[in-house]
Amino acid sequence: MITSTFKNRIAAPLCVISLLNLSLFAFGGEMKDASGSLAPGNKIEIKDFAFNPPTITVKSGEQITWINRDEEPHTIVSVEKQFKKSTALDTDQEFTITAGAPGTYTYYCSVHPKMTGTIVVEKP
Ligand SMILES: [Cu+2]
Protein backbone atom coordinates (compact mmCIF):
# COMPACT_ATOMS: atom_id res chain seq x y z
CA MET A 1 0.00 0.00 0.00
CA ILE A 2 1.14 3.50 -0.76
CA THR A 3 0.33 4.80 2.66
CA SER A 4 2.43 2.27 4.50
CA THR A 5 5.42 2.78 2.19
CA PHE A 6 5.18 6.47 2.79
CA LYS A 7 4.98 5.91 6.52
CA ASN A 8 8.01 3.65 6.44
CA ARG A 9 10.04 6.23 4.59
CA ILE A 10 9.27 8.79 7.21
CA ALA A 11 9.56 6.40 10.11
CA ALA A 12 13.03 5.11 9.25
CA PRO A 13 14.94 8.39 9.59
CA LEU A 14 12.91 9.32 12.65
CA CYS A 15 13.85 5.99 14.19
CA VAL A 16 17.52 6.61 13.58
CA ILE A 17 17.27 10.03 15.17
CA SER A 18 15.42 8.78 18.22
CA LEU A 19 17.86 5.89 18.60
CA LEU A 20 20.73 8.35 18.55
CA ASN A 21 18.99 10.48 21.11
CA LEU A 22 18.25 7.48 23.26
CA SER A 23 21.84 6.33 23.27
CA LEU A 24 23.00 9.83 24.16
CA PHE A 25 20.55 9.93 27.02
CA ALA A 26 21.51 6.45 28.13
CA PHE A 27 25.16 7.43 28.13
CA GLY A 28 24.41 10.53 30.20
CA GLY A 29 22.36 8.44 32.57
CA GLU A 30 25.08 5.88 33.01
CA MET A 31 27.61 8.57 33.73
CA LYS A 32 25.37 9.97 36.42
CA ASP A 33 24.70 6.56 37.90
CA ALA A 34 28.37 5.72 38.02
CA SER A 35 29.19 8.84 39.99
CA GLY A 36 26.00 9.17 42.03
CA SER A 37 25.87 5.54 43.05
CA LEU A 38 25.92 4.87 46.78
CA ALA A 39 27.81 1.59 46.64
CA PRO A 40 30.42 0.26 46.71
CA GLY A 41 32.39 3.47 46.25
CA ASN A 42 30.39 6.29 47.80
CA LYS A 43 30.92 9.10 45.34
CA ILE A 44 29.87 12.68 45.72
CA GLU A 45 30.09 14.81 42.64
CA ILE A 46 30.74 18.51 42.98
CA LYS A 47 29.02 20.28 40.14
CA ASP A 48 27.51 23.72 39.60
CA PHE A 49 28.53 24.75 43.11
CA ALA A 50 26.69 21.91 44.79
CA PHE A 51 27.43 18.54 46.35
CA ASN A 52 25.60 15.74 44.64
CA PRO A 53 23.96 13.96 46.36
CA PRO A 54 23.74 16.58 49.13
CA THR A 55 23.16 13.86 51.72
CA ILE A 56 24.83 10.48 51.57
CA THR A 57 24.34 7.52 53.88
CA VAL A 58 27.29 5.19 54.34
CA LYS A 59 28.44 2.55 56.75
CA SER A 60 31.26 3.06 59.20
CA GLY A 61 34.55 2.09 57.58
CA GLU A 62 33.39 2.75 54.04
CA GLN A 63 35.16 5.22 51.84
CA ILE A 64 33.61 8.41 50.56
CA THR A 65 35.08 10.12 47.53
CA TRP A 66 34.33 13.58 46.23
CA ILE A 67 35.18 14.57 42.71
CA ASN A 68 35.17 18.14 41.50
CA ARG A 69 33.40 18.50 38.14
CA ASP A 70 33.46 22.29 38.23
CA GLU A 71 36.02 24.60 36.73
CA GLU A 72 36.23 26.30 40.12
CA PRO A 73 38.29 24.96 43.02
CA HIS A 74 36.28 23.51 45.91
CA THR A 75 37.17 22.14 49.32
CA ILE A 76 35.51 19.71 51.69
CA VAL A 77 35.64 20.84 55.29
CA SER A 78 33.92 19.15 58.21
CA VAL A 79 31.87 21.69 60.17
CA GLU A 80 32.89 20.07 63.45
CA LYS A 81 36.33 19.00 62.23
CA GLN A 82 35.28 15.35 62.30
CA PHE A 83 37.57 14.52 59.39
CA LYS A 84 40.63 16.02 57.77
CA LYS A 85 39.87 18.88 55.41
CA SER A 86 40.69 18.55 51.76
CA THR A 87 43.03 20.73 49.80
CA ALA A 88 41.42 22.90 47.13
CA LEU A 89 40.31 20.40 44.51
CA ASP A 90 41.01 21.26 40.91
CA THR A 91 38.77 20.08 38.09
CA ASP A 92 38.39 16.29 38.15
CA GLN A 93 40.49 16.01 41.29
CA GLU A 94 39.26 13.61 43.96
CA PHE A 95 39.31 13.57 47.74
CA THR A 96 38.63 10.44 49.76
CA ILE A 97 37.97 9.87 53.45
CA THR A 98 37.01 6.80 55.42
CA ALA A 99 33.78 7.11 57.35
CA GLY A 100 34.42 7.01 61.08
CA ALA A 101 32.07 6.46 63.99
CA PRO A 102 28.33 6.41 63.31
CA GLY A 103 26.76 9.85 63.34
CA THR A 104 25.86 12.79 61.18
CA TYR A 105 28.69 14.75 59.67
CA THR A 106 28.04 18.07 58.01
CA TYR A 107 30.58 19.67 55.75
CA TYR A 108 30.96 22.70 53.53
CA CYS A 109 33.24 24.22 50.95
CA SER A 110 35.49 26.82 52.55
CA VAL A 111 35.79 28.68 49.24
CA HIS A 112 31.99 28.84 48.90
CA PRO A 113 30.56 28.39 52.41
CA LYS A 114 27.02 28.22 51.04
CA MET A 115 27.90 24.84 49.57
CA THR A 116 27.02 22.30 52.23
CA GLY A 117 26.51 18.57 52.43
CA THR A 118 25.75 15.87 54.97
CA ILE A 119 27.16 12.43 55.56
CA VAL A 120 25.14 10.02 57.65
CA VAL A 121 27.32 7.22 58.95
CA GLU A 122 25.55 4.09 60.10
CA LYS A 123 26.84 1.06 61.97
CA PRO A 124 28.53 -1.44 59.65
CU1 LIG B 1 33.32 25.53 46.47
pLDDT in tens, 47-96: 999 999 999 999 999 999 999 999 999 999 999 999 999 999 999 999 99
Per-chain residues with Cβ under 5 A from ion ligand 1 = 74, 109, 111-112, 115
Report which DSSP code applies to 69: -
Q: What is the pLDDT of residues 33-56, one digit of tens each?
A: 444 434 457 999 999 999 999 999
Sign for the CA dihedral angle at 113, 116, 120, 121 comes to: negative
Residue 74 CA, ligand 1 centroid: distance in Å = 4
Strand order in the sheet with 55-59: 55-59, 116-122, 103-108, 77-78
Distance, in Å, from the CA atom of 30 to the CA atom of 92, rounded to the nearest integer, reads 18
Distance, in Å, from the CA atom of 83 to the CA atom of 92, rounded to the nearest integer, reads 21
As separate numbers, helices (DSSP H) first and strands (DSSP E) second, the chain gives 1, 8
Residue 102 pLDDT greater than 50, yes or no: yes
User: Residues near 67 by Cβ (< 8 Å), separated by ≥ 6?
Assistant: 35, 43, 44, 45, 46, 89, 92, 93, 94
Residue 73 CA, ligand 1 centroid: distance in Å = 6
Residue 6 CA, ligand 1 centroid: distance in Å = 55
